[in-house]
């Protein structure tokens, strides 16, 4: 984790969300996989969410050749929906469901008859972005899972906690959803000072009323959950 970390819509470390998505799929944890996929997707990283799912498929499930053709067809549908302005976010759930229901045995022959699961938009509804009032309750209510990561312990816990507590909005501004929110409320992103400034106190108050998540005031458990500590 570096100083240049990116926070998602609910202030998770984006890099570790990508890792958590892969690990959850490999453990066939469907609901949790959807949580991580849509944490990326609804933060504005739609393409990266799809690319990660395809990478997991090609790395661990590529013996399913018929499924690959099915996925490629769905990918074309999603690409077309992007061009027409209609986002078919349920396609992401289709990818994940069809991987979670299969064993990742690269030495196993593909069954002669394959079954594919088609899902509708009802699968995405629980994961759409919610605006909680008051805003400071957002993280305790919506940060449902600990990041599912591997590797060594964080060697600089205090430093990363400070980034979340004191500079969270600047690091969140790298997510399209947060950048849009900031600019719509007259905010200015200062990359030199690593701060976000607002043109007036009134603009700041309006922004804060909707999006003041107050990570510095949250329980340590929530702060560590967002950072993967």
pLDDT per residue as tens digits for the range 22-48: 999 999 999 999 999 999 999 999 999
Q: Which two tokens stand for residue 84?
A: 């027409």
Cα distances (Å, whole numbers) of residue 12 to 16, 68, 103, 168: 8, 31, 29, 10
Q: Are 229 and 157 in contact (CB under 8 A)?
A: yes
The residues of the chain scoring below 70 in pLDDT are 1-3, 83-86, 105-113, 151-155
Cα distances (Å, whole numbers) of residue 144 to 12, 24, 34, 200: 11, 14, 12, 34
What pLDDT is attached to residue 2?
56
Cα 185 to Cα 131: distance, rounded to the nearest angstrom: 16
Closest CA to 87 of 130, 41, 127: 41
User: Tokens 């090609």 sit at which residue?
Assistant: 58
φ, ψ for residue 29 (rounded to 5)? -95, 90
Q: Which two tokens stand for residue 40?
A: 């990326």
What pLDDT is attached to residue 1?
45
DSSP 7: B
Within 10 angstroms of residue 99's Cβ, the number of other Cβ atoms is 22
Cα distances (Å, whole numbers) of residue 14 to 18, 26, 134, 178: 6, 19, 24, 13
Cα 185 to Cα 206: distance, rounded to the nearest angstrom: 8
Cα 118 to Cα 202: distance, rounded to the nearest angstrom: 47
Q: Are 5 and 171 in contact (CB under 8 A)?
A: yes
Q: Are 9 and 178 in contact (CB under 8 A)?
A: yes
Peptide bond into 194 cis (omega under 30): no
Q: Are 173 and 20 in contact (CB under 8 A)?
A: no
What pLDDT is attached to residue 117?
83
């Amino acid at each position: 984790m570096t100083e240049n970390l990116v926070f998602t819509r609910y202030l998770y470390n984006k890099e570790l969300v990508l890792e958590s998505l892969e690990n959850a799929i490999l453990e066939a944890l469907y609901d949790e996989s959807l949580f991580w996929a849509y944490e990326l997707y609804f933060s504005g990283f739609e393409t990266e969410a799809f690319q990660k799912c395809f990478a997991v498929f090609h790395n661990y499930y590529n013996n399913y050749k018929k499924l690959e053709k099915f996925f490629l067809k769905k990918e074309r549908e999603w690409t077309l929906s992007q061009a027409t302005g209609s986002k078919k976010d349920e396609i992401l759930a289709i990818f994940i469901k069809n991987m979670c229901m299969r064993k990742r045995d690269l030495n196993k022959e593909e069954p002669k008859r394959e079954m594919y699961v088609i899902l509708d938009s009802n699968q995405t509804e629980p994961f759409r972005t919610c605006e909680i009032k008051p805003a400071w309750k957002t993280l305790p209510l919506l940060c449902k899972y600990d990041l599912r990561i591997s590797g060594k312990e964080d060697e600089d816990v205090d430093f990363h906690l400070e980034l979340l507590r004191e500079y969270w909005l600047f690091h969140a501004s790298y997510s399209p959803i947060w950048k849009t929110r900031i600019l719509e409320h007259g905010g200015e992103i200062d990359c030199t000072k690593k701060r976000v400034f607002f043109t007036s106190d009134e603009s700041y108050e309006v922004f804060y009323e909707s999006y003041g998540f107050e990570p510095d005031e949250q329980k340590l458990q929530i702060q560590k959950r967002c950072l993967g500590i």
